[in-house]
Amino acid sequence: MRSFQIASDLSIDQQHAAVLTCCEGLLTALKDGRMSDIGSLRMELAGLLHANLSREEKEINSSIRRTPEAKRPHLFNELAAEASLLRERYTSHIGQWTLSKLQGDRDRYAQDARSLVQDVRSHLKKKQAAMPEWISFISRHMLKSPANPQRG
């Protein structure tokens, strides 16, 4: 994945797989001491996460958020909040760990990166498990929508 446009063209499932692959690449580069690859992997991950946020907003989140909170599908509100915290955490991680700073404290950076990757993995696993229900919810909701009279 070398550009935001390529990442934007992927399906949500493909984006999730690419995020996980990029995370694994980052961990491997850290383990192997390939510090020269860290910067490009971090940029790639940022592009993937941004593309995924845009696609999920367009295809899933915006539709669900139009329903009252109490009627939203299982885990939607919780995972939306968790995703927001992960985005803030990733932004903070990148801001805190400039390339020169991580060179000076590789062990602490590796620990922080491993923790962040673990949290991203956990979030995506929960989201992937919940998404079929969310998509079904959207399909049912769209069928009942007054904006779609031809579907009722």
**pLDDT score recorded for residue 141:** 83
Tell me which residues of the chain have a pLDDT lower than 70: 1-4, 143-152
Where are the extended beta strands (E) located within 50-150? none
74's tokens = 């299982």
**pLDDT score recorded for residue 146:** 53
Residue 105's φ and ψ, nearest 5 degrees, are -145, 65
**pLDDT score recorded for residue 103:** 87
Which pTM does this prediction carry? 0.87
- The C-alpha atoms of residue 82 and residue 88 are separated, in whole angstroms, by 10
**pLDDT score recorded for residue 105:** 93
What domains sit in the chain, N to C, each tagged with a CATH number? 4-151 (1.20.120.330)
pLDDT single digits (tens) 98-130: 988 988 999 999 999 999 999 999 999 999 999
Rounded to a whole number of angstroms, the distance between the first and last alpha carbons of the chain is 41
